Structure formats: C-alpha cells, structure tokens
Amino acid sequence: MRKKDLINWRFNLKMDYASMIILFFIFLSSSVFSQDAQFTQFTNTPILLNPGQTGDINGEFRVGYLYRNQWNSISSPFTTSHFFTDKKFLEERLKGNFVGGGLSMVYDNTGGGALTTTQIGLNTSYHHYLDRSLSSKIYGGIQISFFQKSLNANLLAFENQFNYSNSDFSNTSNTDNIVSSNIVRPDFTLGAGYWKSEKKYYINAGLSAAHFTRPNLSFTGGKDLLATKWTLHADGQYNLSKFLFVTPALMIKFQNMATQFNFGAMLNYGFGKTFTDNIYVKTGMWFRVGDAVNFVVGLNHNNWQFNVSYDINASSLHTASHYNGAIELSILYTHNLFNIQKNKTRTIPCKRLF
C-alpha cells in the first residue's frame, strides 16, 4: 500500500491511528490545559473558575449545569459536563459580610471513553465588604476535591500495534507499562478577588491557583506531576440604558509553558420588569486567541438563564476539523432572584443582573 493511500485509509477510520496517538498524548501530558474541563462560557462556571466566588449570588441559592460536545468532526466527540450549586450563609450575623458554600462536579469523557475524569469538590469562601454602603469587597475561597481518572487502553491505538503488511492494527496491544488503569487523587484550588459596584457599572477581578499540590497523574507508576494552573479573570457590566447593558469579560490561564487568552462581551436587552415580561435576550462573541471564535446567544427569564454557544475552530487543527469546534449548553437557576427580605433595611448591591 502506498504511503498516500495509507494516510487516506487512516482518516476513514472512526478513530484512526494518528488521531489516537495525538489524543493519547494530549490527555496524558501535564503540560496542556486539557487536563482540566474547559468551557467557552467561563462566566457561567463561577465556582469552578474561582472558589472565592462561591455564594456570590443575588438570591438564596444557585444551581447550574453545563454540557460541552467538542470535535465531533474529527473523531469520537469529547464531552464534558459540569454541575454546581452554591449558597451564602451567615449574612445577617456578619452584618453584610457572608460565607459561601458550594458543591462542584465535573465529568469529562475523551477519545470515545479512552480517558474519563470525574471530579467532585466542596467549596467554601468568605466575602468581606470594605465600606458601609456595601459597594466594594474582597473575597477568597478554597476548593477541596477528589478526582478519578480511568484509562481504557483497549480503545487506544499504539504505533507498534500497526501491521503495515496487512494495513490494520492486528499486532498485540502494548499495555505492559500501564500499572493501573484507574487513579484517585486529592486536589486543591485557592482563589481570591475584588469586586466593586457603582450606579452604572460593576467590576470583578480575581486570581485562582488550581492543582497547587501538583497531584501525580501517572498510570505507569512513575512521576507525571500536574502543573499548577494560574487563572486571572475579570468581568463587568456597564448599563447603556434602563434595559440595555454590556457585559465584557476576559480570562488568562498559565500552566507550565502554555498560555491561553480568552476575551469577549455580551450585549443584553430587556423587555420589562414585571412578572410576565421580565425577559432579557443576549448575544455576544468571544475569542480564544489562536484557537477558536465563539458565538453565544441566551435568554434570561426571572430566575432562569439559558445559553447556547458554538466554537469555530481557528487553530492549525482546522484542516481536519473543517473549522467545526464545540457546542455548549448551560442552564442556571437562582432561587428568589432579587428577593430581599422585608425586615432588611440595608440595600444589597447587585453584582450582576443574572
């Protein structure tokens, strides 16, 4: 078989040899961001982005769910799900300051199930206002979690398995170096930030450090320490009119020698403030520099928020992906949004409208 024919044959496989080798090293190397769940809608993953944001809600409690499906056009899709819930505590006792508590769960499936990751974490935070008007504050928090990684080597193709004479993967699987196909490790994330609100705008900025204890990810019994990931993020809101406002945001991630830069904005338009017409529609564009262009649309109605985003791949992988990237869905619910108890005489400033 000619080399050109062999290459074409590989791409006709559901999960061809070249793709399997690439995916294997992407998800076993600690030098890339793919070790962690990645979402285009990072502003809708507040307690995953920074545990210090736990409990920072305009309501009694919040529940959120996100689903991401990526790279359907290349191979078996990479799917990621994230569920979280958080609540504020001791607000009355601390005279405006409060403690946040939350639960975060992430499930990541890569390479058609070749590598799966499940992470469950408990978050706690503390928010301290800097003035009596409650218009600015600092916050900090920690996430204590455990993650499980499972490797199914039977779904992976290794180079020495390819039989060039028969043009198939008939050679014996090389899994002798895999000591354990399942690892469980503890993990810790720290985060802190600053928030300020004025009549026409708010700003929020924070920094988080994930994996600062550097857990070992090796399946072979050796050392494969996951590098600490630093995330700098900022978001805000500027009111253009009574029912029109813009919400810009950015996120910069550093891990080992890799850097990722995300930025963009959403334009939000509201139709009213009564129970029956409290509806906001929103649309925006995000950029993951050197990787993807993201389009987002959404709808907010009372306590509910619905968002859909689509990534157009703009990296060197676009020749194989045909510019197809990922679709992402999110649903968030905030209980008693904006409902301030009647016996409270002070005013709670609004960090974000939803």
Mind listing the pLDDT tens digit for each residue in 301-319? 888 999 999 998 876 565 5
The string of pLDDT tens digits covering residues 182-234 is 889 999 999 999 999 998 999 999 999 999 899 988 887 788 899 999 999 99
The string of pLDDT tens digits covering residues 262-306 is 999 999 998 866 545 678 899 999 999 988 899 999 999 888 999
Task: Write out the two tokens for 319.
Answer: 């020749």
Closest CA to 147 of 257, 23, 37, 65: 37
The string of pLDDT tens digits covering residues 166-190 is 666 555 555 556 666 788 999 999 9
Task: Write out the two tokens for 67.
Answer: 């689903």
With b for 16 or more beta-carbon neighbours within 10 A and e for fewer, the 152-184 pattern comes to: ebeebbbeebbeeeeeeeeeeeeeeeeeeeebe
Instruction: Give the angle 32-112-19 at the CA atoms, nearest 5°.
Output: 60
User: Does residue 152 register a pLDDT over 60?
Assistant: yes
Closest CA to 62 of 339, 338, 332, 353: 332
**CA–CA distance, 349 with 354 (Å, rounded to integer):** 13
- For the chain, the structural domain boundaries read 3-335
pLDDT, position 8: 41
Q: What is the band of 28 on the pLDDT scale with cuts at 50, 70, 90? A: very low
pLDDT, position 6: 38
Beta strands in the chain (DSSP E): 61-70, 78-89, 98-110, 115-129, 136-151, 182-197, 201-210, 229-239, 244-255, 258-270, 279-288, 292-301, 304-313, 324-335
Task: Write out the two tokens for 318.
Answer: 């676009």
Please compute the mean of the pLDDT values over residues 240-251 and round it to a whole number: 93
Please compute the mean of the pLDDT values over residues 139-158 and round it to a whole number: 85
Please compute the mean of the pLDDT values over residues 26-43 and round it to a whole number: 64
Q: Which residues contact 127 (CB under 8 A, 6 or more apart)?
A: 55, 56, 88, 97, 98, 99, 100, 137, 138, 139
The string of pLDDT tens digits covering residues 82-141 is 999 999 999 989 988 999 999 999 999 886 667 889 999 999 999 999 998 889 999 999
Task: Write out the two tokens for 54.
Answer: 């736990």
**CA–CA distance, 85 with 137 (Å, rounded to integer):** 22
- pTM of the full structure: 0.79
Q: Which residues pair with 268 in a beta bridge?
A: 245, 282
| Distances, alpha carbon 210 to alpha carbons 125, 159, 173, in Å | 15, 34, 35
CATH architecture, domain defined by 3-335:
Beta Barrel (2.40)
